[in-house]
Amino acid sequence: MAGQSIVLRNNQPVALTEIPRLSLDAFRAWTVSQVEAGKRLAVLCCFPQIHGFLLCAVLADDANGWLELAGAEAAQEFPSLTPQCVQAQLFEREIFETYGLRPVDHPWLKPVRFPCASHHPNHKIGEMDYFQVEGPEVHEVAVGPVHAGVIEPGHFRFQCHGERVFHLEISLGYQHRGVMQALLQASESQRRHLMETAAGDATAGHTTAYCNALDALAGRQAPARAHAIRGIALEFERIACHIGDLGAMAGDVGFLPTQAYCGRIRGAALNMTAAICGNRFSRGLIRPGGVAYDLDDAIIRHLLERLEAVRADAVSAIELLWITPSVLERFERTGVVSKEIAEEIGLVGPAARACGLNRDVRHDFARGIYQFQQIPIASVESGDVYGRAMVRWLELLRSMTFVREMLLALPDSKIMSEPGAMKPESIVVSLVEGWRGEICHIAVTDAQGELSGYKIIDPSFHNWFGLACALRDEAISDFPLCNKSFNLSYCGFDL
Amino acid sequence: MISPVSISSVAAALILSPLLRSIINRTKAGFAGRQGPPWLQPYYDLIKLLRKGAVYSRTTTWIFRASPVAGLTMALGALCLTPMGGENSVLHFEGDLLLFAYMLGLWRFFTILAAMDTGSSFEGMGASREAFYSALAEPALLLGLEGLALKAQSASLSGIYAALENSVSAGGHAATLIFIMLAFLIIYLTENARIPVDDPTTHLELTMIHEVMVLDHCGVDLAIIEYAGALKLWILGLLITGLFVPIQAGATWLNLGASILCLFLLAVLVGVIESVMARFKLVKIPQLLTGAFVLAALWGVWIARTQL
C-alpha cells in the first residue's frame, strides 16, 4: 500500500506536507482495510486548514511497533467509516460536533459532550435520545449524572428485563472544559497546567505524552536521567491507582479487609511521588525538555524503603482477594468482554490486556526509559472482572520491580536539556502507556513553529464503549463492580 | 400476670438494641485496622435524625408517611411476643408464633409499599428484590418455628423456648439444634440486610436491597426506621440466642443478663462474617435461602420422626 500512508515511530515528527493526501473515498477504503487487517485506529481527527479541513487517521500496528498516518482534505462532509469500522464511531461524532464536518451515513450522530457546539442546535445539557427497548416487563433505569459516591458526573441508561441488562448506554460530557481549544491560546507554562489536569489522576501520563511531543518537535532529547524520572513518576502513578482500584473493587463486593487497607496503601504510594516533587499527583514534575526535580541519594534511599513497605502491605492486603472464594465468585465471569469484541472496538490498557490482547505502549511503542528497560506485558484471557483485577495486580508488582531497578541504577546526567525551536509545519504523534492505557497526543505546528493544532485522546475515550459491552446480559446489580473494574476517566473523556 | 423480668426484657430491648449496630461496626473496624465510631454513635445518629425536618416527594402519598410508624408498631408488637432468658414474653398465647411471623411480614409489606410509592426506579428494584428474597426466607422461618413447636408441643414462642431450656438441661437433643441455628442465622442475615445478602454500608443504589427502599425517608421517619431496624436485630437475635442459651444461670435475672450477653456475641459474629467474606451475587441469594429452608425442613422431619 505504498504511497497511501506514511509510517512513523512513536514521537517521530514529520512535515505536514509529507502526509499523503488521499481522496475521501480512498482514505475511507484505506482506513477500513487497515483496521480489517488487524491494525487499530488510534486516532481519527481533523485539523482546520485555511480552506476546509485535514482529516487524519493514525493506525497503530501493535505487532510491528509503528504508526501509519494518512490524511485527506474535506470541505463539509466525508463518507463515514463507522458502518465498516466500529472504532471510528466516537471519533466521527466528535469531529462533527466540534467542526461541523459531517460524516455521511454515520448511523447515529449523538452528541459526545455538553454543551455541544452549534452543530447540535437543539441540545441542552443532559438532553439526548437513547436507544430504547420495548416490550412487556422491560424497564429503563437511569443513573446519574449526579451519583451517590464522590465520583464525576456521567449518565448511564439501562434497558433491563428484570435484573438483566439488555443494553447500557453511557452519556458523558458533563464537564467539558474545552481543554484542546484552550491549549492553543495558552502560553507554554499555562499549557503545562492544562496537561496536568487533562485527567487529574493520570497527570504523569498526560504530561509525559505532551512533553515527549514537544521535545520531538523541538528536536531535543530529554536527558537519560530525566527519562528515568519520568518513568518512575509514571509507574508510581500506576502503582497508586491500581492499588486504589483493587481496594475499590473489593469495596464494591463488600469485602472489607482489602478495601480498608488499600485506601491507606494508595496514600502511601502517592506519597512516594510527593517525596520527589512535593505533589502527590506529580504536578510540576515533568517539563518539556526533562524534569524539574532531581533525586538525590537521600530521596532514593527513602523511596526504596517506602517502596518495600508498600509492596509488603499491598501483597498482604491484595492477595486476600485471590484466596477468598466469595470474592472470586463475584469477580469471575462477571462483565465479560470477549477478545473479538475487544479487538473490534479497539480497547486499550488493562481492559484490553484482560481480554488476552497483548497491547502495551511501553512494549509496542517504547520511548524514553522503556527503550532500555522493559516491563513484561501482563495479560490474561478471561475478559471478566477477575481478569481486569488480575492484570492490575500483575502490573503493579512488575511496576514496583521496575521502579526499584530504576532507583538503584539511575543514569547519571542532567535533568533538563537545552531548549530549541519547534519545527514549523510538522506533526508528531506521541503515545504513552498511562495507567488506564494508551494516552495519545498529536501536536501540529504552524509556519512559525507555534502549536496550531493539538489533539488529546485519553484511554477512556476508547474504553467507555467496552464497559457498555461488558454489561450486555449482565445483572444490573453488578454494574458498579464492572464500572470499577474499568475505572475510566470522565474528565479525560470530556476534556 | 406479667412478671417484672418480662417487662425488664422489653425495656432492655428498647434501650440496648441500637448498641448491637455499634458492636457490629466496632468489630468490623477492628478487622479493618480502624478504631471505629464511638460506642454510642447509633444513639447520636438517632438523636440527630429526630431533630431534623423531613422532605417529602410530591409523588408520595400517605402510605409513604405511614410506613415508618407501621413498621415500628410491628416491631414493638413482635418484641412483646418474643421471650427472653427463658421467661415468658409480655404477650403470649397458643399460636402466637404465626402472629410473630406475620407481623414481620406486615412490616416488610409496608416498607415495600412505601418504596413503590416514591415512583423511583431504584426503590422499585429494591422492593422487588426484597419481595422475592423474603418470599423465600419466610417459609424457612415458619418451618423452623413449627419444627420447634412440634418439639416443644406448644405453638407459643414463650412455650417453645421454655421447653427448650428444660430439654437441653435434661441432656436432650442439643446437637441437632445446630441445624435450626444455621437456618435462623441465614434468615437473620437476610432479614437484617447484612453481608453476604445485602451490604448495609454501600452507597451503590443498584446493588442495594434494603437500603435503597428507605433512600427517600429522612428526619424523624428515618430515625423511626433505623430504630425499628435495630429492634429487628434484637428480636430475631433472640430467636437464635434462645436456642443456645438455655444454660441455666440459676436465677431469672442472671438468665436475662446471659441472654443480653449472647446477643452481643451474636453481633460480634455478624461483624466477623462481614469482615471475612464478600457479598453474594444477587442471583446466588435464592440458593442460600433455599439452604436455610432445607436445613429447617430437615430438622422438622427429624423432630417429627422422633416425636411421632
Report yes or no on A155 lying in a domain.
no
In whole angstroms, give the CA distance from residue B182 to residue A418.
74
CB contact under 8 A, B125 and A141: yes
pLDDT at residue B151, as a whole number: 84
Residues A11, A97, single domain; the answer is: yes
CB contact under 8 A, B195 and A477: no
* Mean pLDDT, chain B, whole residue set: 90
Given 3-state DSSP classes, what are the helix, strand and coil percentages for chain A, each rounded to the nearest 5?
A: 45, 20, 35
Whether residue B119 lies within 8 A of chain A, CB to CB, comes out as no
List the single best residue of A256, A331, A478 to mutate versus B (max B Cβ within 10 A).
Answer: A256
Long-range residue pairs from A166-170, CB within 8 A, at least 24 positions apart, any chain: A166/A133, A166/A138, A166/A472, A166/A473, A167/A131, A167/A133, A167/A468, A167/A472, A168/A467, A168/A468, A168/A471, A168/A472, A168/A479, A169/A130, A169/A131, A169/A468, A170/A464, A170/A465, A170/A467, A170/A468
Report yes or no on A128 lying in a domain.
no
CB contact under 8 A, A253 and B202: no
Asked if residue A7 lies in contact with residue A68, where contact means CB atoms within 8 angstroms, the answer is yes
Q: What is the pTM of this model?
A: 0.92
Report yes or no on A335 lying in a domain.
yes
**Among all chains, which residue has been given the C-alpha cell 471478566?**
A384
Residues A217, A352, single domain; the answer is: yes
pLDDT at residue B245, as a whole number: 63
Residues A187, A92, single domain; the answer is: no
Asked if residue A117 lies in contact with residue A98, where contact means CB atoms within 8 angstroms, the answer is yes
- Per-residue confidence at B50, pLDDT binned at 50, 70, 90? very high
Over residues A79-107, the pLDDT tens digits come to: 999 999 999 999 999 999 888 889 999 99
* Mean pLDDT, chain A, whole residue set: 91
How distant is the Cα of B271 from the closest Cα of chain A, in angstroms? Answer: 10
Report the residue from B33, B204, B282 with minimal CB separation from A260: B33
pLDDT at residue B249, as a whole number: 60
pLDDT at residue B205, as a whole number: 86
In whole angstroms, give the CA distance from residue A478 to residue A469.
13
Residues A393, A487, single domain; the answer is: yes
On chain B, the residues whose CB falls within 8 A of the CB of A264 are 33
Report the residue from A256, A324, A477 with minimal CB separation from B207: A477
CB contact under 8 A, B206 and A476: yes
Report the residue from B32, B199, B276 with minimal CB separation from A260: B32
pLDDT at residue B30, as a whole number: 94
On chain B, the residues whose CB falls within 8 A of the CB of A261 are 32-33
Report yes or no on A160 lying in a domain.
no
**Half-sphere CA count of B86, side-chain side, radius 13 A:** 22
Q: Is the pLDDT of residue A65 over 80?
A: yes
CB contact under 8 A, A255 and B34: no
Contacts of A61 (CB under 8 A, 6+ apart): A39, A40, A67, A68
How distant is the Cα of A143 from the closest Cα of chain B, in angstroms? Answer: 9
Residues A71, A219, single domain; the answer is: no
Q: What is the ipTM of this complex?
A: 0.90
Average pLDDT over residues B169-175: 59
Average pLDDT over residues A281-309: 92
Report yes or no on A375 lying in a domain.
yes
Q: Extract the C-alpha cell encoding B135.
A: 418470599
How distant is the Cα of A255 from the closest Cα of chain B, in angstroms? Answer: 4
In whole angstroms, give the CA distance from residue A169 to residue A158.
6
CB contact under 8 A, A477 and B282: yes
Report the residue from B31, B279, B283 with minimal CB separation from A253: B279
Residues A215, A317, single domain; the answer is: yes
Residues A70, A217, single domain; the answer is: no
Whether residue B39 lies within 8 A of chain A, CB to CB, comes out as no
Question: Which segment of A2-6, A370-374, B145-149 scores lowest on mean pLDDT?
Answer: A2-6
- Residue A364, domain extent: 179-494
Average pLDDT over residues B261-270: 94
Contacts of B305 (CB under 8 A, 6+ apart): none
Over residues A173-229, the pLDDT tens digits come to: 888 888 988 999 988 889 999 999 999 899 999 999 999 999 999 988 899 999 999
Q: Is the pLDDT of residue B169 over 60?
A: no
Q: Is the pLDDT of residue A262 over 50?
A: yes
User: Residue type at B5?
Assistant: V
- Per-residue confidence at B254, pLDDT binned at 50, 70, 90? confident
How distant is the Cα of B195 from the closest Cα of chain A, in angstroms? Answer: 7
* CATH number, residue A328: 1.10.645.10
List the single best residue of B277, B280, B283, B285 to mutate versus A (max A Cβ within 10 A).
Answer: B277
- Of A104, A135, A156, the position where a domain reaches its end is A104
Whether residue B47 lies within 8 A of chain A, CB to CB, comes out as no
Report yes or no on A113 lying in a domain.
no
* CATH number, residue A23: 3.30.460.80
Average pLDDT over residues B256-260: 88
Residues A354, A487, single domain; the answer is: yes
Q: Is the pLDDT of residue B168 over 70?
A: no
Q: What's the total number of domains in chain A? A: 2
Q: Which residues pair with A40 in a beta bridge?
A: A60
Average pLDDT over residues B166-186: 75
Over residues A120-177, the pLDDT tens digits come to: 666 677 777 888 888 888 988 888 888 887 889 999 999 999 889 999 999 888 888 8
pLDDT at residue B174, as a whole number: 63
Report yes or no on A116 lying in a domain.
no
pLDDT at residue A91, as a whole number: 93
In whole angstroms, give the CA distance from residue A461 to residue A44.
12
CB contact under 8 A, A330 and B31: no
Asked if residue A466 lies in contact with residue A436, where contact means CB atoms within 8 angstroms, the answer is no
Average pLDDT over residues A455-470: 94
* Cα pseudo-dihedral A361, A367, A371, A376, rounded to 10: -20
In whole angstroms, give the CA distance from residue A10 to residue A428.
8
- Of A77, A104, A131, the position where a domain reaches its end is A104
Report the residue from A142, A253, A256 with minimal CB separation from B275: A256
- Per-residue confidence at A334, pLDDT binned at 50, 70, 90? very high
Average pLDDT over residues A478-493: 93
- Of A48, A80, A104, the position where a domain reaches its end is A104
Q: Is the pLDDT of residue B247 over 80?
A: no
Kindly give the interhelix angle for A224-252 and A385-408, rounded to the nearest 10 degrees: 150
Report the residue from B32, B279, B281 with minimal CB separation from A257: B32
In whole angstroms, give the CA distance from residue B123 to residue B254.
44
Residues A327, A193, single domain; the answer is: yes
Nearest to B134 by CA among B198, B180, B75: B198
Report the residue from B196, B204, B274 with minimal CB separation from A256: B274
Whether residue B278 lies within 8 A of chain A, CB to CB, comes out as yes
Report yes or no on A488 lying in a domain.
yes
In whole angstroms, give the CA distance from residue A20 to residue A22.
6
How distant is the Cα of A254 from the closest Cα of chain B, in angstroms? Answer: 5
Whether residue B173 lies within 8 A of chain A, CB to CB, comes out as no
Nearest to B274 by CA among B209, B203, B188: B188
Residues A237, A378, single domain; the answer is: yes
Q: Is the pLDDT of residue A1 over 50?
A: no
In chain B, the N- to C-terminal Cα span, in Å, equals 34
Residues A76, A194, single domain; the answer is: no
**Beta carbon pairs, A and B, within 8 Å:** 87
Asked if residue A252 lies in contact with residue A481, where contact means CB atoms within 8 angstroms, the answer is yes
